[in-house]
């Protein structure tokens, strides 16, 4: 639970208007005795290392040490940091939309983890999708094109770019747009550990329903982590009281039967699409329905076949690694249980590949 307590402390102090926080990106680093900073993130990255399955996974965790630590800024935010607006965006809001917002500083740790995001977990799908390719090593990842679909923080993109990848983040989230709105947030990213420099760009878009030209094609990897699943993306038969009946938590951009076709068009021949989903086990209480407990890939075999993609893994189980890595870093959700008990969390991943051009080897 230590990480959760530290994050709570960070957000409480940062969003509470600590006099230590600076409004400028070049402000002095946070005093770690008062507000936890990147040293917490580095500590947890080191605890993740035993669960890395490739050299690239290890390099991803080690690259945390190269993350900039002077990226704080002021934003209009709500108390839980679920909403965020720049000053210019705030000026366009009406009185109702402004209700509950305060002009507060955001610290380094909040910049990389928000209040409860888990970018280190993204090492798990990265490991799985590069296995069996030259990208298993960071040298093989350098120069590759990577598309990240709707991550809730910039961290995964920055880490991959510091390993030499050319990374595009496509998202449609107001908090992401406001939090990463300054010039230094994207662009050229200095390489870590002898890796060449990479690049990072952010595109706010309801891709693939729009902006296909802007996002582009030729991607070696497309990764969606904790965003697409049957429980999150499709309607639920019995939604909990706090969800509009029939409305998914994270609806897909575009029609389900064309979503994978758009993914296939964006991939280079031989490119891979990884979907990694995790969530709590569904409670055995009929009135307490958790839609995100359903981590199954939401697309039918017919949709996959129609897209032209081929299946490398379909709803494969990665729960053991998810639980072990979570427990090692102090998260309380995946409580350690007896061997004969059901785990408190579950995970499933799907990897699809775009076939190589038939004439590529001729």
119-133 pLDDT, tens digit per residue, is 999 999 999 999 999
- 337 burial type by CB count under 10 A (0-12 exposed, 13-18 middle, 19+ buried): exposed
Query: What value does the mean pLDDT take over residues 5-10?
Result: 47
- Asked if 196 and 204 count as a contact pair (C-beta separation under 8 A), the reply is no
pTM listed for this prediction: 0.84
For residue 311, what are the β-bridge partners?
352
CA atoms within 13 A on the CB side of 297: 24
Rg (CA), the chain: 20
pLDDT of residue 11: 42
Burial 276-289 (b: 16+ CB within 10 A, else e): bbbbeeeeeeeeeb
pLDDT of residue 333: 52
The mean predicted confidence, pLDDT, of the chain is 83
Of 116, 89, 114, the closest CA to residue 103 belongs to: 89
For residue 334, name the pLDDT band (cuts at 50, 70, 90): very low
- Asked if 121 and 143 count as a contact pair (C-beta separation under 8 A), the reply is no
Q: How many C-beta atoms lie closer than 10 Å to residue 6's C-beta?
A: 20
Query: What value does the mean pLDDT take over residues 17-29?
Result: 35
pLDDT of residue 14: 44
For residue 283, name the pLDDT band (cuts at 50, 70, 90): low
pLDDT greater than 70 at residue 284:
no
Rounded to 5 degrees, what angle do the CA atoms 60, 61, 64 make? 95
Of 79, 7, 82, the closest CA to residue 41 belongs to: 7
Q: In what order do the strands lie in the sheet with 84-85?
A: 84-85, 73-77, 102-106
For residue 203, what are the β-bridge partners?
170
The beta-strand segments (E) located in the chain are 73-77, 84-85, 102-106, 145-149, 166-171, 187-189, 198-204, 219-225, 267-280, 310-317, 345-353
Burial 110-149 (b: 16+ CB within 10 A, else e): bbbbbbebbbbbbbbbbbbbbbebebbbbbbbbebbbbbb
Query: What value does the mean pLDDT take over residues 327-344?
Result: 57
For residue 1, name the pLDDT band (cuts at 50, 70, 90): very low
Query: 2-16, 186-200, 312-326: which has the minimum mean pLDDT?
Result: 2-16
pLDDT of residue 359: 52
Domains with residue ranges and CATH for the chain = 2-353 (3.40.50.150)
Give the whole-angstrom CA distance, residue 71 versus residue 261: 38
Q: In what order do the strands lie in the sheet with 345-353?
A: 187-189, 198-204, 166-171, 145-149, 219-225, 267-280, 345-353, 310-317
Distance between first and last Cα of the chain: 56
Give the whole-angstrom CA distance, residue 318 versus residue 129: 12
pLDDT of residue 115: 74
Query: What value does the mean pLDDT take over residues 239-243?
Result: 52
pLDDT greater than 80 at residue 163:
yes
Higher pLDDT, 117 or 333: 117
- 358 burial type by CB count under 10 A (0-12 exposed, 13-18 middle, 19+ buried): exposed
β-bridge pairing 310-317 and 267-280:
unpaired
Of 215, 124, 107, the closest CA to residue 171 belongs to: 215
State pLDDT tens for residues 292-324: 778 999 999 999 999 999 999 999 999 999 988
Query: What value does the mean pLDDT take over residues 328-344?
Result: 56
């Amino acid at each position: 639970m230590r990480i959760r307590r530290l994050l709570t402390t960070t957000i409480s102090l940062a969003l509470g208007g600590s006099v230590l926080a600076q409004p400028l990106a070049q402000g002095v680093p946070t005093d770690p005795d008062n507000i936890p900073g990147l040293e917490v993130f580095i500590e947890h990255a080191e605890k993740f290392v035993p669960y890395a399955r490739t050299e690239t996974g290890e390099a991803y965790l080690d690259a945390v040490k190269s993350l900039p630590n002077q990226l704080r800024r002021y934003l209009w935010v709500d108390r839980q940091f679920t909403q965020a607006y720049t000053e210019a965006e705030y000026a366009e809001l009406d009185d109702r939309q402004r209700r509950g917002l305060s002009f507060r500083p955001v610290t380094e740790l909040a910049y990389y983890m928000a209040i409860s995001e888990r970018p280190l977990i993204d090492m798990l799908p990265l490991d799985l999708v590069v296995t069996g390719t030259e990208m298993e090593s960071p040298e093989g990842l350098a120069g590759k094109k990577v598309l990240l679909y709707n991550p809730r923080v910039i961290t995964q993109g920055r880490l991959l770019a510091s390993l030499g990848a050319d990374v595009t983040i496509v998202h449609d989230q107001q908090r992401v747009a406001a939090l990463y709105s300054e010039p230094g947030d994207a662009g050229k990213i200095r390489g870590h550990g002898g890796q060449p420099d990479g690049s990072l760009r952010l595109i706010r878009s309801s891709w693939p329903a729009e902006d296909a030209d802007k996002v582009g094609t030729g991607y070696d990897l497309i990764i969606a982590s904790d965003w697409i699943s049957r429980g999150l993306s499709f309607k639920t038969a019995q939604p909990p009281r706090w969800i509009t009946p029939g409305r998914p938590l994270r609806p897909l951009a575009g029609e389900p039967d064309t979503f994978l076709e758009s993914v296939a068009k964006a991939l280079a021949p031989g490119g891979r699409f990884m979907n990694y989903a995790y969530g709590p086990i569904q409670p055995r209480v009929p009135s307490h329905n958790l839609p995100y407990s359903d981590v199954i890939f939401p697309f039918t075999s017919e949709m996959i076949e129609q897209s032209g993609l081929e299946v490398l893994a379909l709803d494969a189980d990665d729960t053991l690694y998810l639980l072990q890595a979570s427990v090692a870093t102090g998260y309380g959700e995946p409580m350690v249980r007896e061997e004969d008990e059901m785990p408190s969390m579950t995970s499933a991943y799907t990897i699809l590949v775009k076939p190589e051009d038939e004439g590529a080897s001729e």
